[in-house]
Amino acid sequence: MGTSRFTPEGALEPYMAWVKQATSKPVVTVGRFTSPDAMADHVRRGLVDLVGAARPSIADPFLPRKIEEGRPEDIRECIGCNICYSGDSLGVPIRCTQNPAMGEEWRRGWHPERIAPASAAETVLVVGAGPAGLEAARALGAKGHDVILAEAGRELGGRVVREAWLPGLAPYIRVRDHREQAFAKLSNVQVFRESRMSAQDVFDVAPQHVVIATGAEWRRDRFDGAAWRAVATGDARPMTPDDIMDGERPEGPVVVFDQDGYVLGGVIAEALAREGLAVNYVTESDSVSAWAGHTTERWRVRARLMELGVEIATAQALTAWDGAEAELVCGYSGAERRVAAAGAVLVTQRIPRDGLYHDLLAEAGGEASALPFTLTRIGDAEAPGLVAQAVHAGRRYAEELGADIDPDAPVRHERPQLEAPVPRRPAAPLAAAAAAETSALHPDYLPTLLRYWEEEIEGEAYFRALAERLPEPREKERMILLAEVERRTAADARPLIDRHGLSPAPEAQLIAAGRAAAAAGPQDWPTLFAEMRRAYPGYVAAFEALEALGPAPDHPLLARMTEHEVCAVAFLEAEAAGAPDATAPLLRFLCVPPVAPAPA
């Protein structure tokens, strides 16, 4: 799980290069492979037969297809940041810096490659070509909008271009490269470099939508838990990561105060130490680069700083710096001490660079609705965060532009159902309507519906009884799955029984009948399996006939009843063929949310 900062591609080659000499079996290896060239190199040299690429497949699930089709330029190459893994250690949904659709495929309906086309092409001005602006422009262009991307500087990429020059962070430039390459295939995206926008410039462009993605900048003070406090006294001026990335350098010895806890504090301390400065890394946390523990690299950061001779002070706050000495205060004892420091770099927090957003609001008297275009902030310009969050914000803006999003339920949620809902009879005022509907039904419909529903209760008892008798765990598992399918079908179809005022036999009686059938039928797996394969296709035809008898409002639930027999037949055929995932049809049936019954 090494990150790109510390682990090169194919890092496990020294450990596995001998394996093919020791076995005739196919050999697979992992090792932070991201580029097709590195993967192919290992195969061509005969080191391995297969390459395992988990994180690269998170960044681009279609990576193998793009290699096969000769489209390497379309690959969203993993940058090795391990943000995907941080979701696991934090207990939150997975994220990917390169692929903003990761984790949103089901709950938001995002696809990593496709995006729903816009109902009508509109002009969108994106101000700022950092991670958020680049992804917004790319996704908006893919939707069919006419996009104008204005960047104040010469280079696209914003923070990732600057950060990629720091030690070990060069792969981060792929965030920019992938999106810049995408523009070559999007004729509706116009890119304007060295185009710093004023409020009047925006009005002159006259777009229908404006999105501000102008990023953020590092602060020169620190937050003490209650308020922002200046650190420098007198004429002293501390530096920030922005200054370091602009090429400025402090005098040594230098204190690097890391209140951010992720990448930049440790990286800047490393960069300055490599340039020969005496560096004192100070953090209020109990560990170096504390948040980087979620990406598995915290211990590597500390080891690297120790190798470079960086002095490390944990649980210490930098409270004052006068240009010659820094005052440190222990977070536990409150003890103060002073260390020599001709320079200081504060890696604390960032503040949105959103002046243009507020200038545009001011032109409309503070009311965004008074502007001739929609106005939105995204990414660091709205709330400074990870690069992955900025990229996600760009995709989200494009997805939601023109969409009707319920603010109270913006995403799908899982709703586990631990018990079947308690059935409710139709209210008294509906009795007359129900009677009228019943009189128009086919005379065979209701008796057949009732009997088939009762057979689901019997079927669950039947399969559970078989599960108790069969000796093999694999056979027991399959019987239990079939019992769950029967139970789920009965629960899903219960609204039909209630709608028509039907009165099933007592549940205990149905369960007893199911268990009796299990006792009277085949008792060994081969005979039982053969009998099921013979009988089940006929059950599908029977349920399809029931659908044909039923009224239109009942069809969705009747189709669900038929589907449970279809999936059972698919399971039996897959099992007969020896498929390793033979139970997949049953599992898919159980995972489908309950069908909402149509109004009668």
Neighbour-count burial for 356-376, b at 16+ CB within 10 Å, e otherwise: bbeebbeeeeeeeeebebbbb
- Who has greater pLDDT, 594 or 303? 303
pLDDT band for position 599 (50/70/90)?
low
Our CA angle for 497, 448, 456, nearest 5°, is: 65
| pLDDT in the model for residue 418 | 60
Q: Work out the average pLDDT over 446-451.
A: 92
| pLDDT in the model for residue 417 | 59
| pTM, full prediction | 0.71
Is the pLDDT reported for residue 425 higher than 90?
Answer: no
State residue 402 phi and psi, 5-degree precision.
80, 0
Is the pLDDT reported for residue 426 higher than 50?
Answer: no
- 146-150 vs 123-127, strand pairing mode: parallel
- Residue 18 burial (CB count, 10 A): 9
Residue 493: name the closest of 411, 560, 435 by CA: 560
Inter-residue contact 282 to 321 (CB < 8 Å): no
Q: Residues 168-212: pLDDT tens digits?
A: 999 999 999 999 999 999 999 999 999 999 999 999 999 999 999
Q: Work out the average pLDDT over 436-447.
A: 73
pLDDT band for position 261 (50/70/90)?
very high
Q: Residues 391-424: pLDDT tens digits?
A: 999 999 999 998 888 888 888 877 665 655 544 4
| Rounded distance between C-alpha atoms, residue 161 and residue 154, angstroms | 11
Neighbour-count burial for 132-152, b at 16+ CB within 10 Å, e otherwise: bbbbbbbbbbbbbbbbbbbbb
Residue 153: name the closest of 177, 182, 189, 128 by CA: 128
| Rounded distance between C-alpha atoms, residue 585 and residue 497, angstroms | 26
Least-confidence region, from 54-63, 153-162, 233-242, 530-539? 530-539
| pLDDT in the model for residue 511 | 93
Is the pLDDT reported for residue 427 higher than 50?
Answer: no
Q: What residues contact 399, with CB distance under 8 A and at least 6 apart?
A: 108, 110, 115, 116, 139
| pLDDT in the model for residue 428 | 43
Q: What residues contact 295, with CB distance under 8 A and at least 6 apart?
A: 3, 81, 82, 83, 85, 86
First-to-last alpha carbon distance for the chain, in angstroms, is 56
| pLDDT in the model for residue 348 | 96
- 254-258 vs 50-51, strand pairing mode: unpaired
pLDDT band for position 144 (50/70/90)?
very high
Of all residues in the chain, what percent are helix, strand and coil, respectively (each to 5)? 45, 10, 40
What tokens does 244 get? 């370091």
DSSP 26-52: --EE-S---SHHHHHHHHHTTS-SEE-
Is the pLDDT reported for residue 588 higher than 80?
Answer: yes
- Torsion 369-374-377-378 (CA) sign: positive
| pLDDT in the model for residue 595 | 65
| pLDDT in the model for residue 98 | 97
pLDDT band for position 1 (50/70/90)?
confident
**SS3 for 207?**
coil
| Rounded distance between C-alpha atoms, residue 478 and residue 305, angstroms | 56
Place of tokens 């039909």: 496
Q: Work out the average pLDDT over 123-143.
A: 98
Q: Work out the average pLDDT over 5-9.
A: 92
| Rounded distance between C-alpha atoms, residue 115 and residue 144, angstroms | 10
Judged on CB neighbours under 10 Å (0-12, 13-18, 19+), 418 is: exposed
Q: Work out the average pLDDT over 237-262.
A: 96
Is the pLDDT reported for residue 531 higher than 50?
Answer: yes
Inter-residue contact 133 to 395 (CB < 8 Å): no
Q: Work out the average pLDDT over 386-394.
A: 97
Least-confidence region, from 89-103, 144-158, 210-224, 440-454? 440-454
Inter-residue contact 457 to 483 (CB < 8 Å): no
Q: Residues 301-316: pLDDT tens digits?
A: 999 999 999 999 999 9
| pLDDT in the model for residue 391 | 98
- Who has greater pLDDT, 139 or 402? 139
Is the pLDDT reported for residue 432 higher than 60?
Answer: no
Residue 158: name the closest of 309, 345, 379, 363 by CA: 379
Inter-residue contact 131 to 391 (CB < 8 Å): yes
Cross-strand partners of 313:
282
Is the pLDDT reported for residue 434 higher than 90?
Answer: no
Is the pLDDT reported for residue 85 higher than 50?
Answer: yes
Neighbour-count burial for 201-211, b at 16+ CB within 10 Å, e otherwise: ebeebebbbbb
Is the pLDDT reported for residue 249 higher than 90?
Answer: yes
Place of tokens 């006792």: 519
